[in-house]
Structure 1
Amino acid sequence: MSQGSDVILDRMMALHPKIIDLTLDRVWRLLDALDHPEKRLPPVIHIAGTNGKGSTLAMIRAGLEAAGKSVHAYTSPHLARFHERIRVAGELISEDDLTEVLDRCYSANNGESITYFEITTVAAILAFSETPADYTLLEVGLGGRLDATNVVDPLLSVITPVSIDHTQYLGDTLAAIAGEKAGIIKRSVPCVVGPQEDAALEVIERTAERLGAPLVAQGQHWHVWEERDRLVFQDETGLLDLPMPALIGAHQVENAGAALAALRTLGFDETACEAAMTKATWPARLQRLRNGPLVDAAGSAELWLDGGHNPAAGIALAEALERLPDKPLHLVCGMLNTKDVVGYMRPLASRAATLTAVAIPGEAATLPADETAKAAREAGMATETAPDVEAAIERITETAPGARILICGSLYLAGQVLRDNG
């Protein structure tokens, strides 16, 4: 990132003492100061959920773009560069445009208290409002009801699977968390719902009924499954027989189902649906790294990367690893101190020969390596610590050349790895 946007982003960090403080008052105040750019967005598809939001968005985007539509997309967090969060009409925002919208938001905010996520979300909305496109895809940052993105009147809402995460902000029961996610449902606006546990689905259904929002729910209005290495999707319009998703993992079948249900609800045909499966890319979701200094350090070992960080992501990752050709698996893991670390690791314990714990560089909320190692032992894994990812890789390759090494546990760690690996 050049100095322009970097400097402004640093200044924005200082506008509020907390990274997360859920309320919409500050966002509405800034949008008002900017003459309400949220009212001038191309039609919005708003996506909430605990797991699978980003993958589902990536598949919807691939389908829309294959149908010749131009698409704005807002996602978070970024991995290597802030620009990844804001994709304007299909292209990552340019440094000049980013600097300009950040500057305008900073000036309009006039030194008032506002969180980093809130002001950068408004900057994305401002950028999108000033460039024509056919659709705007907005990924919720945290929760839904009080998330900074929840200032739009969408064409369609999507809720991917809800599970326990961010309990310090969203509540400690599935029903409470689902209530926050269901906060994106708007009166009379259709809502696609991915697979949910009963407690979550009840809350979503109750909210939709109160608002007269038609639900398009998995298991009721659409079904998706894998059959003979193909993906089969069925809804009230008929059956689609498609290639398996380009994104790896059994859980991507469910994410694909939600993306297909969204595309079908919007009226797109089989060509768009097929492209959603074959053309979606989403970094750090069980991504094989094929070149760069870390790959060189791994020598004959395979190097993989995944940013999942909660128990549901641990289960999905374990299932995805099961489908890869058999090879000894060694984990390099760094996590935040806000996560259910043992819950994340437990599903992986039977798959991994060892876990090498690292701290996440430059991250204030990182769990120290020895605490991550302690959690891994509690989950039943042979473990040690290393000063950094590269040292961990070198140590593993000395004892297990030709193995499979997976760097995992945090999107922040994944971003660091993508930066270090060029």
Structure 2
Amino acid sequence: MSGRPDAAAQEAARNLEEIRRMREIEEAILGRAPENDVGPSLERIAAVMELAGDPQHSYPVIHITGTNGKTSTSRMIDTIVQESGLSTGRFTSPHLHDIRERITLSGKPIPRDKFISAYDDVAPLIEIVDARSAGSGGRRMNFFEVLVAIAFAAFADAPVDVAVVEVGLGGSWDATNVADGTVAVVTPIDLDHTHLLGDDLVGIAQEKSGIIKAGSVTISAVQDPDVAAVLAERAEEVGSDLRLEGDSFGVLARDVAVGGQQVSIRGLAGDYPDLFLPLHGAHQASNLATAIAAVESLVGGGTQALDRSVLAAAVARMTSPGRLEIVRRSPTVLVDAAHNPHGARALVAALDEAFTFTRLVGLIGIVADKDAASILEALEPKLDHVVISRSSSPRAMPPAQLGALATEIFGESRVTVEGNLPDALDRAIGLAEEEGLGGGVIVTGSVITAGEVRLLLGVTDT
């Protein structure tokens, strides 16, 4: 025998080394300021991108902002573009389980080796920019800015035909805004991240409208009239062609179906009847209409209809993990990442339409900087009982504090507080089972809560 390791042993050694290196990189990135600790400036990320040769300009970008529906819409756009025969890169946030979910290549989380390679490419440049910033009394790049740099480098290296890029916060000063979107997409704008963006819809819309660039097409979901006016003003100012849902495109019809809904969509360039969308809720039908209009704008300038068979195939395989997703049966347990009042209201409407429970128990964990009272008030009419808990996030609201707030809204008899999430899940399931086969559990309040319950129930696919 030669003593040389066989191919399987070599592969195992490579995998172990990649896992070790990924852990090392994640620790380094997480050691930076968190993504919600932002310095409103593009200076740092722009400097890194310039040193890297501006990879974000080497492929067309569909850039997505809004308050709710960004990730679902991003995934829909990505799926349609892939089904059309193009390779894609997608950047979204936050992740449910694995940091690599944020950066996908043709629909799959970026392989470890490609993540490592992209990080190794940009890390020296980030060090240079960090040193410059420190020398002038500025701040280091934060967690989110570093991930944006990795994503844009990975997309150029792949290379991808199209990048689908979701903002993290806002728009104008979001790190992703160093890219110039060929198509700008604006999902519904509402109040969220008010400690960073303010509590005025017009001001929030002005910040988010910063992704609209000269010569682009802007696709917007239905908006408050004041928000629509802001978008129109920005589009006119920079020379973007603005197309609004309900005017240029929209949902023509939809019916509840087993496992989802049957929808008919009017796009910019044609009608697409009888598409089966395996997702629930009017908001997902609207997201689909927005996604179709965005892809029409990219591949045909909004004047060429998509191939109907290709589109139907794409829609039929769409998924949105953590968004009104069934993760267990008997009793039914659903997870939904609603983390603001607008999302909670959309969740209630979808539950009313698509599910019939004799008893519905909410398992709720909310991050401390969210409008917890308004979220609970939106959910109250739909839930028979709530179990209050927390995720592992250091930003999670303490269960005792959230429980006291829930008691004010639901009444003491309808509230149970369990500080440990696994215990809370067991308690919620037990309460749902008190009604026999008709009970159910909805887990909501934050992306992290939804993701951790998915893991507890053995669901890891994204």
Give the corresponding residue for 2:373. 342
Shift of 1:215: 0.7
CA, structure 1 residues 395+106, in 2 after alignment: closer, same or farther (shift >3 Å)?
A: same
Any conservation in 1 of the 2:366–2:446 contact (CA below 8 Å)?
A: yes
Shift of 1:90: 3.5
Tell me how large the CA RMSD over aligned residues is: 1.9
2:449 is the alignment partner of 1:413:
yes
Which region of structure 1 is more displaced relative to structure 2, 254-263 or 30-39?
A: 30-39
Give the corresponding residue for 1:141. 168
Shift of 1:373: 1.6
Shift of 1:321: 0.7
How far apart in 1 are the matches of 2:425 and 2:26?
Answer: 33
Tell me which protein shows more helix as a share of its residues. 2
Give 1:338's aligned amino acid.
D
Map residues 305-344 of structure 1 onto 2, 5 A cutoff: 305-327=335-357, 328-344=359-375
Give the alignment partner of residue 28 of structure 1, picking from 24, 27, 46: 46
2:370 is the alignment partner of 1:370:
no
Shift of 1:342: 1.4
Give the corresponding residue for 1:255. 287
What SS does the aligned partner of 1:208 have?
A: helix
2:327 is the alignment partner of 1:289:
yes
Any conservation in 1 of the 2:361–2:431 contact (CA below 8 Å)?
A: no
For residues 89-114 of structure 1, the C-alpha deviation after alignment (integer angstroms, 9 at most, x for no partner) is 33321112212222332222126111
Indicate the percent of aligned positions where both proteins have the same amino acid.
30
Shift of 1:231: 1.6
What SS does the aligned partner of 2:178 have?
A: coil
How far apart in 1 are the matches of 2:405 and 2:286?
Answer: 30
How far apart in 2 are the matches of 1:87 and 1:243?
Answer: 25
Any conservation in 2 of the 1:157–1:191 contact (CA below 8 Å)?
A: yes
How far apart in 2 are the matches of 1:169 and 1:388?
Answer: 30
CA, structure 1 residues 222+7, in 2 after alignment: closer, same or farther (shift >3 Å)?
A: same
Give the corresponding residue for 1:389. 421
Shift of 1:410: 0.4
Which region of structure 1 is more displaced relative to structure 2, 43-52 or 261-270?
A: 261-270
Any conservation in 2 of the 1:333–1:357 contact (CA below 8 Å)?
A: yes
How far apart in 2 are the matches of 1:391 and 1:227?
Answer: 39
Larger Cα Rg: Structure 1 or Structure 2? 2
Map residues 272-283 of structure 1 onto 2, 5 A cutoff: 272-283=310-321
Which region of structure 1 is more displaced relative to structure 2, 396-405 or 306-315?
A: 396-405
CA, structure 1 residues 339+286, in 2 after alignment: closer, same or farther (shift >3 Å)?
A: same
Give the alignment partner of residue 45 of structure 1, picking from 44, 55, 62: 62
CA, structure 1 residues 365+12, in 2 after alignment: closer, same or farther (shift >3 Å)?
A: same
How far apart in 2 are the matches of 1:303 and 1:399?
Answer: 12
What SS does the aligned partner of 2:448 have?
A: helix
Give the alignment partner of residue 196 of structure 1, picking from 223, 244, 255: 223
How far apart in 1 are the matches of 2:321 and 2:232?
Answer: 32
What SS does the aligned partner of 2:291 have?
A: helix
CA, structure 1 residues 109+236, in 2 after alignment: closer, same or farther (shift >3 Å)?
A: closer
What SS does the aligned partner of 2:68 have?
A: coil
Which region of structure 1 is more displaced relative to structure 2, 171-180 or 59-68?
A: 59-68
How far apart in 2 are the matches of 1:357 and 1:66?
Answer: 41
Give the corresponding residue for 2:156. 129
Any conservation in 2 of the 1:59–1:279 contact (CA below 8 Å)?
A: no
CA, structure 1 residues 208+416, in 2 after alignment: closer, same or farther (shift >3 Å)?
A: same
Which region of structure 1 is more displaced relative to structure 2, 94-103 or 125-134?
A: 94-103
The number of aligned residues is 412
Shift of 1:236: 5.3
Give the alignment partner of residue 354 of structure 1, picking from 359, 370, 385: 385
Which region of structure 1 is more displaced relative to structure 2, 315-324 or 391-400?
A: 391-400
Shift of 1:58: 1.2
How far apart in 2 are the matches of 1:341 and 1:14?
Answer: 28
Give 2:409's aligned amino acid.
A
What are structure 1's unaligned runs of at least 5 residues? none
2:209 is the alignment partner of 1:182:
yes
Shift of 1:26: 0.7
Map residues 101-250 of structure 1 onto 2, 5 A cutoff: 101-110=118-127, 112=130, 113-229=140-256, 230-235=262-267, 237-250=269-282
Give 2:50's aligned amino acid.
D
Give 2:443's aligned amino acid.
I
For residues 174-194 of structure 1, the C-alpha deviation after alignment (integer angstroms, 9 at most, x for no partner) is 000111110000012111111
Give 2:154's aligned amino acid.
A
Give the corresponding residue for 2:303. none
Give the corresponding residue for 1:302. 332
What SS does the aligned partner of 1:72 have?
A: strand
What TM-score do the two structures reach when normalised by structure 1? 0.93
2:96 is the alignment partner of 1:64:
no
Any conservation in 1 of the 2:280–2:354 contact (CA below 8 Å)?
A: no
Any conservation in 1 of the 2:366–2:396 contact (CA below 8 Å)?
A: yes
How far apart in 2 are the matches of 1:276 and 1:181?
Answer: 29
Any conservation in 1 of the 2:429–2:440 contact (CA below 8 Å)?
A: no
How far apart in 1 are the matches of 2:33 and 2:334?
Answer: 36
How far apart in 2 are the matches of 1:228 and 1:344?
Answer: 27
How far apart in 2 are the matches of 1:90 and 1:359?
Answer: 30
Which region of structure 1 is more displaced relative to structure 2, 268-277 or 147-156?
A: 268-277
How far apart in 1 are the matches of 2:56 and 2:362?
Answer: 43
Give the corresponding residue for 2:134. none
What are structure 2's unaligned runs of at least 5 residues? 1-17, 131-139, 257-261, 301-305
Give the corresponding residue for 2:37. 19
Give the corresponding residue for 2:10. none
Any conservation in 1 of the 2:281–2:354 contact (CA below 8 Å)?
A: no
Any conservation in 2 of the 1:342–1:378 contact (CA below 8 Å)?
A: no
Give the corresponding residue for 1:379. 409
Any conservation in 1 of the 2:79–2:107 contact (CA below 8 Å)?
A: no
CA, structure 1 residues 273+345, in 2 after alignment: closer, same or farther (shift >3 Å)?
A: farther
